[in-house]
Amino acid sequence: MPFTKRASLFIFAALLLGCSRSPQPPQEVPASKTTASKQAASKEITENQALDLLLAALKRRKVADLDCLEFMAETDDPAVSKAEQWEFAAHEIHDKRCGGDPGVSPVRDRYQISSAGKVKVYDAAEGEFKKF
């Protein structure tokens, strides 16, 4: 008899465990929140907006001879009006005011600007853009 009591208690305990509540599955993030975060991450800006962000960063850094630099966008598709990031080449202006040979306009630096306002400068030795 004691074996049957133990067996029935074991079966009863197994049934109780099997019928217990399972943990709730993780809740999904509402679509409005995911859409808003994707929009923030994929915000596109115009070339002029990117150039304004770059010039503001260069002024904060007090880059020398800023008045003697001309910035040209470097893009594969000239028809692009908005993008998540832009790249610019800073060409030296050579004239009477800035000096130098007016027949040349060498690139001093290259910059990459994200729509979030982050600026990177090209490191030619490493072959990649680095934090500015």
Rounded to whole angstroms, how far apart are CA atoms 81 and 94?
A: 29
87-96 exposure pattern, b = at least 16 Cβ within 10 A, e = fewer: bbbbbbebee
pLDDT digits (tens, 9 = 90+) for 72-119: 999 878 788 999 999 999 999 999 999 999 999 999 999 999 999 999
Give me the pLDDT at residue 132, please.
86
State the pLDDT confidence band at 8, using cuts at 50, 70 and 90. Answer: low
pLDDT digits (tens, 9 = 90+) for 26-67: 455 555 554 554 555 569 999 999 999 999 999 999 988 899
Q: pTM (2 decimals)?
A: 0.66
